[in-house]
Amino acid sequence: MMRSNRPERSLRFKITASFLVMTLLAFTLLGILANVILKKQFENYVIENLNKKNEEIVAMLGSRYEDWGGAWNAGGLESIGVGAMSDGLILRVTDTEGTVLWDAMVHNSGFCASMMETMAQNMQRQNAGFNGGYTEKIYEITSGGSVAGTVAIGYYGPYFYTDNDIKYLNTLNMLILLVTALVGVASLVFGAYLAKRLADPIVKVIKTADQISEGNYGQRLDNTSDMREIIELTTAINTLAERLEKQESLRKRMTADVAHELRTPLANLQSHIEAILDGVWEADSTRLKSCHEETVRLSRIVADLEKLARFEGEGTVLNKERVHVPALVGQAIKVFESELDNKNLAVKTELQDITLFADRDRIMQVLVNLLSNAVKYTQPCGQIAVSAEETDGHVRISVKDTGIGISREDLPYIFERFYRADRSRSRDTGGSGIGLAIVKSIVTAHGGSVEAISTHGEGSEFIVYLPK
Ligand code: ADP
């Protein structure tokens, strides 16, 4: 058996691990994609927000200027400027002459510097290599259609994240991480469950196959799975076990039958020879002839057994060819020419011009066995009729005689090995009870069937059906 050098792992391990790896891979990819795509969108949102806020401040300065009666109010400017600072914006308001009215840097330069520092750190933490710095935009403040001054809005640019923004981004990543962990655990559980469902029946099959290989042919698996391949595997194992069981019982029966068949002639022979050796009997020609007859009988049984062994059992290789049925029947009848003459038996044939795709020699054997029985079991001056016809895809061959027939009790058994309807009589006719067993195994190997119809004392008919 070829084995790879890779370490052996159980099916359960492999399936569970694949499940886990697949899920983790999928979610890691999702996490990366979400970060890349969402961050880009978030960035746009933040920039838009920043611009909006700037414009709001400019608009507010304009409207306040109007509220203050078209003049700047230092206290009012300070409260706007300090409010903007808490949003991360550094204002510097100048009037139309260019005089600075309020400057956040002047108001609290330390705070501004540390704010810029913190923002730089935050942005670097979010996005290593973020290229940012102090940015300033200058807007004109208008009030009632005329210019009231300018405001420079400085901030950490090109954009910056507020604490809330950072919280939002962190929550998002935490969420993805949490879902990944949850799905990972779920996939582990589900993968393990699926693997168990898949591996359990396979383990059962292995155990049963082991048992079968140890000779416990009675073992069967129950088909409880809903997976097609598993059902097919179990069915295959069950069929295998069934076949082995059948073969085994066939082998046992065969051995028992053979022993039983050989025992009688061997015992006869032994007692005859012992009687002669002991001087009880004289070794005259009658005694020797009787011994000779027993050995002939033994040889015939052995020869028949050889034939049967060749035909019986599955796996018989058939040499199929086109066989012209009338020609083959004619040939088989020829074999019995002299016996037919001796017993003065008439043979009637009714043969359609059919060809059959079959093993010529074996079909010949079938015909010879059936004709041999018909000749054997028909009294002188009787009749034998052989017919062949085609019936829906099958060839039907019948061998009918007007012989002694078979009793109803014997009829079901005549195709069994060594079965003889009348043992004492068949001893005279020389039958070993194997002929019909051979017929049956050949016909079965061809995918056909054979049946016998008989009335005791009136005659018998043997009908063989063979697929064309
Ligand atoms: P055998 O070698 O004894 O003929 P077979 O297997 O050919 O063995 O036949 C089994 C038994 O079936 C025979 O012993 C006989 O009793 C019965 N039998 C078979 N063919 C016929 C027949 N044509 N007429 C009457 N009996 C038959």
SS3 15: helix
**Amino acid identity, residue 182?**
L
CA-angle at 281, arms to 280 and 284, nearest 5°: 160
Pick the atom of ligand 1 nearest to 459's CA.
24
- Alpha-carbon gap, residue 310 to 304, rounded angstroms: 10
Residue 183, burial from CB neighbour count under 10 angstroms (0-12, 13-18, 19+): middle
What whole-number distance in Å separates Cα of residue 317 and Cα of residue 307? 14
Asked if residue 426 has pLDDT above 60, the reply is no
Helix axes 74-86, 109-126, angle to 10 degrees: 20
Q: Ligand 1: which of 339, 373, 422, 463 to mutate, most ligand atoms within 8 Å of CB?
A: 373
Quote the pLDDT of residue 312: 66
**91 close to 153: Cβ distance less than 8 angstroms:** yes
Q: What is the pLDDT of residue 316?
A: 65
From the list 298, 465, 448, 454, the residue with the least C-alpha distance to 374 is 454
How far apart are the CA of 300 and the centre of ligand 1, in A? 16
Compute the distance between CA of residue 139 and CA of residue 153 in angstroms, rounded to an integer: 8
Residue nearest to atom 2 of ligand 1 (CA): 431
- Ligand 1 centroid from CA 421, angstroms: 7
pLDDT, residue 4, reads 60
Ligand 1 geometric centre to CA of 454 (Å):
11
Q: Check residue 423 and give its pLDDT.
A: 55
Atom of ligand 1 nearest to the CA of 405: 25
pLDDT, greater one: 253 or 184: 184
Cα 126 to Cα 176, 425, 430: the distances in Å are: 17, 108, 105
Q: Are 72 and 93 in contact (CB under 8 A)?
A: yes
Tokens of 58: 């400019």
Question: Is residue 424's pLDDT more than 70?
Answer: no
Q: Looking at residues 148-166, what average pLDDT do you find?
A: 89
Q: How confident is the model over 121-136, as a mean pLDDT?
A: 85
Q: Select from 308, 402, 420 the residue to mutate for testing ligand 1; criterion: most ligand atoms less than 8 Å from CB.
A: 420
Q: Residues 261-281: what's their mean pLDDT? A: 88
Under a CB-based contact definition with an 8 Å cutoff, are residues 223 and 231 in contact?
Answer: yes
Angle, CA 465 vertex, CA 250 and CA 363 arms, to 5°: 70
Query: Closest ligand 1 atom to the C-alpha of 422?
Result: 16
CA of 372 to the centre of ligand 1 (A): 9
CB 452 within 8 Å of CB 458: no
Looking at the predicted structure, is the pLDDT value of residue 248 above 60?
yes
CA 347 – CA 154 distance, rounded (Å)? 125
Q: Distance from the CA of 348 to the center of ligand 1, in angstroms?
A: 21
Map residue 385 onto helix, strand or coil. Answer: strand
**Rounded average pLDDT over 321-325:** 95
Q: Across residues 288-314, what is the average pLDDT?
A: 81
Span 438-466, mean pLDDT?
Answer: 94
Q: One-letter amino acid identity for 19?
A: F
Distance (angstroms) between ligand 1 centre and the Cα of 414 equals 7
Which atom of ligand 1 sits closest to the CA of residue 399? 23
Compute φ and ψ for 89, nearest 5 degrees. Answer: -110, 135
- Per-residue confidence (pLDDT) for residue 330, from 0 to 100: 95
Closest Cα to atom 19 of ligand 1? 373
- Ligand 1 geometric centre to CA of 271 (Å): 29
Nearest CA to ligand 1 atom 14: 420
Q: What local confidence, expressed as pLDDT, does residue 125 receive?
A: 84
Ligand 1 centroid to residue 366 C-alpha, Å: 13
Mean of pLDDT values over 1-26: 82
Count other C-beta atoms under 10 Å from residue 311's C-beta: 19
Nearest CA to ligand 1 atom 21: 373
Q: Poorest-confidence range of 57-61, 93-97, 143-147?
A: 143-147
Is the separation of the CB atoms in 19 and 190 below 8 Å? yes
CA-nearest residue, atom 23 of ligand 1: 374
Q: How confident is the model at residue 464 (pLDDT cuts 50, 70, 90)?
A: very high
Tokens describing residue 38: 């969402």
Show the ligand 1 pocket: residues with CB < 6 angstroms: 369, 373-374, 377, 401, 403-406, 414, 419-422, 426, 431-437, 460
Across 410-433, average pLDDT: 72
Residue 227, pLDDT score = 86
More reliable by pLDDT, 80 or 433? 80
> Which atom, in ligand 1's list, is nearest to the CA of 369?
7
Average pLDDT, the chain: 88
Q: Whose CA is nearest to atom 25 of ligand 1?
A: 405
Per-residue pLDDT for 5 more than 80? no
Percent of the chain with pLDDT over 70: 96
Nearest CA to ligand 1 atom 13: 420
Contact 395, 354 (CB under 8 A): yes
Q: What is the number of other CB atoms lying within 10 angstroms of the CB of residue 400?
A: 20
Which pLDDT belongs to residue 315? 54
Closest CA to 150 of 188, 98, 190, 112: 98
Strand partners, 154: 90, 136
Residues 15 and 166: their CA atoms lie apart, in Å, by 40
CA of 31 relative to ligand 1 center, distance in Å: 85
CA of residue 110 to ligand 1 center, whole Å: 124
Rounded-to-integer distance, Cα 431 and Cα 372, Å: 10
**Which of the listed residues 308, 370, 399, 436 should we mutate to test ligand 1's pocket, taking the one with most ligand atoms within 8 A of CB?**
436
How much is the average pLDDT of 81-98?
Answer: 92
Cβ neighbours of 420 (radius 10 Å): 19
- CA 97, CA 31: separation in Å to the nearest integer? 54
